[in-house]
Amino acid sequence: MKSLSVKLGVILIGLAIFGYTEVWGADWKLFVTDTKTIGYFDAESITRPSKDIVKVWIRCEYTDNGVTGKVEELGKKYENTVETTALQEINCSDKKRRTLSLTHYSKKGKVLYTSSHAGEWNDVIKKSIWEGLCEAVCK
């Protein structure tokens, strides 16, 4: 019986350690909440490769409306989308942004899509989620 208790204790300690690994090294701060998206940026990941450029990891969780929008935009494959993580690059002075890396996840944690090539620069549109991100990280 002692052997079972020891094994159970080791398993619980292991779960506790590995259960918190995602949290270590990340400082997720809310930057947007709307009818489609709840968006966070990782304050620990912010880098400034030059005076006006900021790189930051974001995580967007989708509401039911957000999932519906993803399906309309990207197809039925995304009906189980729950979250997207992305590395964003922002030009704070020009008010432009682009995606450097992107991964969509399903409710079960399955990767639905991933890309790691730099996208095109896009204007940061007023009252968009991107304006909220810029306000948060371009200080």
Task: Name the residue among 4, 1, 87, 103 with its Cα closest to residue 49.
Answer: 87
The pLDDT of residue 12: 34
pLDDT digits (tens, 9 = 90+) for 82-135: 999 999 999 999 999 999 999 999 999 999 999 998 999 999 999 999 999 999
Domain boundaries, the chain: 25-137
The pLDDT of residue 17: 36
Give the CATH number of domain 25-137. 2.40.128.710
Q: Is 47 a residue whose pLDDT tops 50?
A: yes
The pLDDT of residue 25: 72
- pLDDT grade, residue 4 (50/70/90)? very low
pLDDT digits (tens, 9 = 90+) for 5-32: 434 333 333 333 333 334 457 899 999 9
Structure-block tokens of residue 70? 């993803």
CA gap 66, 78 in Å, rounded? 11
pLDDT digits (tens, 9 = 90+) for 48-57: 999 999 999 9
- pLDDT grade, residue 139 (50/70/90)? confident
The pLDDT of residue 85: 97
Distance, first Cα to last Cα, the chain: 59
Q: Is 33 a residue whose pLDDT tops 80?
A: yes
pTM of the model: 0.79
CA gap 87, 100 in Å, rounded? 5
Average pLDDT in the 37-45 region? 97
Q: Which helix (H) or strand (E) holds 9?
A: helix 2-19
